[in-house]
Amino acid sequence: MNADTNSNRNQRIEGLRCELCHRVVPERMTSVHHLRPRSHGGGPENEAVLCKMCHSFLHATFTNRTLAESFDSVEALREDPEVRKFLKWVRKQKPHRSINVDRRSEKR
């Protein structure tokens, strides 16, 4: 399957691929998430380009501490049941849409 060769030019989305949900979103809709903060010895290899929705989901669901201690890789994030549920949903959303991910008040 090679979708690129036959793709309709009007429908092509220029952008970056979110490392978590793998959707291609416009660059302005992406931001860099620090899987491991610099203060915890993180470097460029511990950064992930995420779409805004994934990024806001992570910070609405987990505290920075949980993220740094339990989720220092995209693979680790994908193994979390709550993240999986979110990914299933977010993949059905239009790439250029940004929905405010308003989550629980209690973070993990």
Can you give the binding site for Zn ion, defined by CB under 5 A? 18, 20-21, 33, 51, 54
In angstroms, what is the minimal distance from the CB of 8 to Zn ion? 23
Burial of 43 (0-12, 13-18, 19+ CB in 10 A): exposed
Cβ-based nearer residue to Zn ion, 20 or 77: 20
Amino acid identity of residue 39, one-letter, is S
Closer by beta carbon to Zn ion, 7 or else 101: 101
Do residues 95 and 15 touch, judged by C-beta distance below 8 A? yes
Angle formed at CA 23 by CA 45 and CA 9, multiple of 5 degrees = 120
- Of 6 and 88, nearer to Zn ion (C-beta) is 88
Minimum separation from the CB atom of position 34 to Zn ion (A): 6
Nearest approach in angstroms of CB 53 to Zn ion is: 6
